[in-house]
């Protein structure tokens, strides 16, 4: 195997691995949002869990000499909380309204499925690269 081809294989796997890590982080954030979708504030009239939005960034991996993706900042979603009139709830404000997280589980499930597909695509790249490496070694052996 030539050094150029070898480095191409390593670069391909490194880039795909960075995608796996980024999507795994995205899935963790989404899972946290789903887990807290119906939580209320610990104190009356307080703010409940606020949805988190993952972002991505690129970085130069000097060892690979390639741009890789990373999970960037996880920012709070500034949209308004949902409110329900529940005067008997301990988290209700003086008007009887309870704030619930600004998490829409349908949106979160859609985002989760998208992250899973991206994760699987990166796994497929790693698998294809491994098969190419194995075929190259088989050819060199014969």
Beta carbons of 78 and 99 less than 8 angstroms apart: no
- With cut-offs at 50, 70 and 90, classify the pLDDT of residue 1: very low
Number of domains in the chain: 1
Most confident of 38-42, 50-54, 130-134: 50-54
Q: Look at residue 142 in the predicted model and tell me its pLDDT.
A: 84
Give pTM, 2 decimals: 0.85
| Parent domain of 100 | 3-141
State the sign of the Cα–Cα–Cα–Cα dihedral 88, 94, 96, 102.
Answer: negative
Mean pLDDT of 41-69: 93
Mean pLDDT of 82-90: 94
| Tally of CB atoms within 10 A around 43 | 9
């Amino acid at each position: 195997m030539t050094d150029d081809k070898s480095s191409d294989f390593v670069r391909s796997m490194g880039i795909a691995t960075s995608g796996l890590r980024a999507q795994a982080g995205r899935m963790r954030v989404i899972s946290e949002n789903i887990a807290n979708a119906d939580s209320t504030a610990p104190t009356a009239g307080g703010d409940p869990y606020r949805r988190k939005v993952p972002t991505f960034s690129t970085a130069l991996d000097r060892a690979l000499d390639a741009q890789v993706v990373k999970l960037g900042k996880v920012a709070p979603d500034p949209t308004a909380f949902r409110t329900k009139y529940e005067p008997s709830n301990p988290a209700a404000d003086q008007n009887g309204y309870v704030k619930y997280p600004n998490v829409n589980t349908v949106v979160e499930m859609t985002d989760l499925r998208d992250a899973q597909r991206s994760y699987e695509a990166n796994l497929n790249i790693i698998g294809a690269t491994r098969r190419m490496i194995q075929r190259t070694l088989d050819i060199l052996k014969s």
